[in-house]
């Protein structure tokens, strides 16, 4: 019975690990923000990410979504190139 429980625990751990890998928190600078499409481009030292901002975040964090603003942002990669901003805050 203990081997069976260990196998179940390993399978569950492997199944749940991709959920944690999908959300990524990074520090960068707002390079561009388009209010019409609510698309933001965040640049880091050696990376760049374009992501969609929800209407509630765009409304609440309008002061953070300005070009040149240093931010900490958490992305949610939904697959197929659909990347969303999960949270954004100034650094």
Q: What is the pLDDT of residue 23?
A: 60
Give one DSSP letter per residue of 52-69, joined into a string.
E--HHHHHHTTTTSSTT-
Q: Give pLDDT tens digits for 13-71.
A: 666 655 555 566 889 999 999 999 999 999 999 999 999 999 999 899 889 999 999 99
Q: What is the pLDDT of residue 78?
A: 84
Structural domain tally of the chain? 1
**Rounded CA gap, 83 and 27, in Å?**
16
Report field, pTM of the whole predicted structure over 0.75: no
Helix count (H) and strand count (E) of the chain? 2, 5
Residue 30, in any domain of the structure: yes
Q: What is the pLDDT of residue 73?
A: 92
User: Which residues are paired to 27 by β-bridges?
Assistant: 72
The CATH number of whichever domain residue 84 belongs to comes to: 2.40.50.320
Report yes or no: 65 and 77 within 8 Å, Cβ to Cβ: no
Residue 12, in any domain of the structure: no
Q: List the structure tokens of 69.
A: 């603003």
Q: What are the backbone dihedrals phi and psi of residue 82, each rounded to the nearest 5 degrees, phi first?
A: -90, 100
Q: What is the pLDDT of residue 2?
A: 84
């Amino acid at each position: 019975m203990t081997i069976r429980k260990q196998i179940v625990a390993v399978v569950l751990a492997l199944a749940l690990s991709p959920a944690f890998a999908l959300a990524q928190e990074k520090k960068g600078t707002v390079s561009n923000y388009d209010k019409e499409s609510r698309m933001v481009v965040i640049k880091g030292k050696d990376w760049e990410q374009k992501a969609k901002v929800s209407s509630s975040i765009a409304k609440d964090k309008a002061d953070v979504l300005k070009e040149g603003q240093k931010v900490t942002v958490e992305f949610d990669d939904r697959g197929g190139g659909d990347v969303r901003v999960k949270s954004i805050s100034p650094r």
